[in-house]
Amino acid sequence: MFLFLFFIISVINSQDCLGGELRSKESFTYGRFEVRMKSAQGNGYVSSFFTYHDFWSTSYNGDWQNYINEIDIEFTGNLDHSIQFTTHHPGPWSQTQILPLNYNPHQEYHDYAFEWTPNSVKWFVNNVEIYNQNQSIVDDLVYPQKIMMNLWSAIYQDWVGEWNPETMPVNSFYDYVKYYAYTEGSGNYGTDNNFTLLWEDHFNAMNENRWEEATHGFDGNYCQFDPLNVLFHNGKMILFATDSQYILGDVNNDMALNITDVVILINYILSDTEERDSWQIINEDILSIKC
């Protein structure tokens, strides 16, 4: 089966890197959205958990500005003790807040959530509310939104710092995602017990009925999203940012596929270490998926 390794080459495209994005197939209106994650560190990188109205997949008569709805939790790799919350609105316009954390989110797993109702959006860190936007801000957030997670490199240096492509590969880790429906007056969780758990995903494997990998890019992003940069490993969903000319299987980064790479892969497959260098994880898991 190892012979297949030598024929797996990543897609080379006009952008400078490949990123990863996982998005839900279903869209949701209101609810509590939870994640346990660890973000990517380094200037230029953005790790996220958010909801987004996918108006591109619907009929919007070209007037896309009137259909923008998005709620964000974001981490920029240049800041070691902060988190960013944003809503994006028709117009377009946005409301954002960057708040301090007493730990480095790039080095530790923590729980994050937001509650979206007709009256407010509230954000939580480790189940403690730390920021909210009231109805006067969020009353135009009315469209169904997909759950999304992505890792990419932004061009905006004043926001994320100056990106150095030589820092790739980098990765962000996601332990689980939970979705609670908004059930005002009849729930059992969240603010005033107004939410009811509908499902949770602990990423033991790709749930193709729930999720799909993205294949697009967008303005302001150095990366093109590639399904190969979304992997599942030891109960984690891992997103990668890699060079667009990265050769899958070249685990020792010598730009050649040979028996040395196979030996290294076998040794790591037989090991039981959860946290490895990102290039080791991506090559091992692609091998196990493709063979």
Q: Is the confidence at residue 250, as pLDDT, over 50?
A: yes
The pLDDT of residue 262: 56
Tell me if residue 213 is catalytic.
no
- Residue written as tokens 């967008």? 218
Mean pLDDT along residues 98-118: 98
Mean pLDDT along residues 155-177: 95
Q: Is the confidence at residue 263, as pLDDT, over 70?
A: no
pLDDT in tens, 209-220: 999 999 988 888
Q: Is the confidence at residue 116, as pLDDT, over 60?
A: yes
| pLDDT confidence band for 16 (50 / 70 / 90) | confident
| pLDDT confidence band for 19 (50 / 70 / 90) | very high
Distances (CA, A) of 66 to 51, 53, 145, 202, 260: 17, 11, 15, 35, 55
pTM: 0.83
The pLDDT of residue 288: 44
Q: Is the confidence at residue 141, as pLDDT, over 90?
A: yes
The pLDDT of residue 216: 86
Q: Is the confidence at residue 102, as pLDDT, over 90?
A: yes
Mean pLDDT along residues 166-194: 96
Between 79 and 244, the more confident residue is 79
pLDDT in tens, 199-210: 999 999 999 999
Tell me if residue 74 is catalytic.
yes
Reduced 3-state DSSP string for the chain = CHHHHHHCCCCCCCCCEEEEEEEEEEEECCEEEEEEEECCCCCCEEEEEEEECCHHHCCCCCCHHHHCCEEEEEEECCCCCEEEEEEEECCCEEEEEEEECCCCCCCCCEEEEEEECCCEEEEEECCEEEEEEEHHHHCCCCCCEEEEEEEEEECCHHHHCCCCHHHCCEEEEEEEEEEEEECCCCCCECHHHCEEEEEEECCCCCCCCCEEECCCCCCCECEEECHHHEEEECCEEEEEEEECCCCCCCCCCCCCCCHHHHHHHHHHHHCCCCCCCHHHHHHHHHHHHHC
Identify the CA nearest to 78 among candidates 17, 18, 19, 164: 164
The pLDDT of residue 258: 59
Residue of 74, 115, 213, 284 marked catalytic: 74
Residue of 70, 115, 213, 284 marked catalytic: 70
* Mean residue pLDDT across the chain: 85
The pLDDT of residue 219: 85
